[in-house]
Amino acid sequence: MEYGVKGYSFDNDVFKEKFEHTLNEKLNWDADLITQAIKAGDKILYLTDNAGEVFFDAFVIKELVEQGKEVVVSPKSGPVLNDATVEDLKEAASSVLISNPGLWGKINVVPSGECIGVSLEEAEDGFLDVLCDDRYLVIAKGMGNYEAISEFEAEFGLRGRLIYVLRAKCVPVASTIGVKKGELVAKFA
């Protein structure tokens, strides 16, 4: 769902076809490691990606909260390309949690800043506090988060508690992850 990207045009029929394809697409993932990490972790920092995807994120977040996880969700503080903002998250959560609005009170929202991925220089203090807290499993969605966080993951003690979820949209990113360009990826770092 890359709206606003040069050369991209929207068509409902094409969207439906691509959506159905994506739902049935093979995920290249570290299944055992990721499943174990999520089961073992009591605290999760969930970095959102595209605004259109935040509705799907809301279902994942709802499931994590229902499993008893303490979840901190980090959308963007303000508009950055097509990334989800706090307002986008609130709208998605209100739609998804309509049957159980009490769950919203169990979700902490700590914006990551107004930049593509994560910029340590521009990130809000509260976000950096959670990111650096080794009690949190970090789920980072999107290639922008991968490109930014992979630069400092070792320095900030994120290895062993970090899950990247993305589509490898270019050869350099795909090769650093060890997948083919275009693959859906969930990797434990």
List the domain boundaries for the chain.
Answer: 28-188
Which phi and psi (to 5°) does residue 135 adopt?
-80, -10
Flag whether the pTM goes above 0.85. yes
The one-character DSSP state at 101 is G
SS3 50: strand
Q: What CATH fold (topology level) applies to the domain 28-188?
A: Rossmann fold (3.40.50)
For 111, the token pair is 């914006």
Please give the structure tokens belonging to residue 119: 């910029």
pLDDT at 2: 56
The predicted pLDDT at position 21 comes to 86
Angle between helix axes 86-96 and 54-66 (nearest 10 degrees) is: 60
User: For residue 23, what pLDDT is reported?
Assistant: 86
Q: How far is CA 103 from CA 59, 67, 123, 137, in A?
A: 12, 12, 26, 20
In this prediction, residue 4 carries a pLDDT of 56
124: nearest Cα among 111, 134, 106, 115 = 111
pLDDT at 8: 65
- Give average pLDDT by consecutive 10-residue segment, the chain, 189 residues: 61 82 92 97 97 93 95 95 93 85 88 95 93 97 97 95 97 97 96
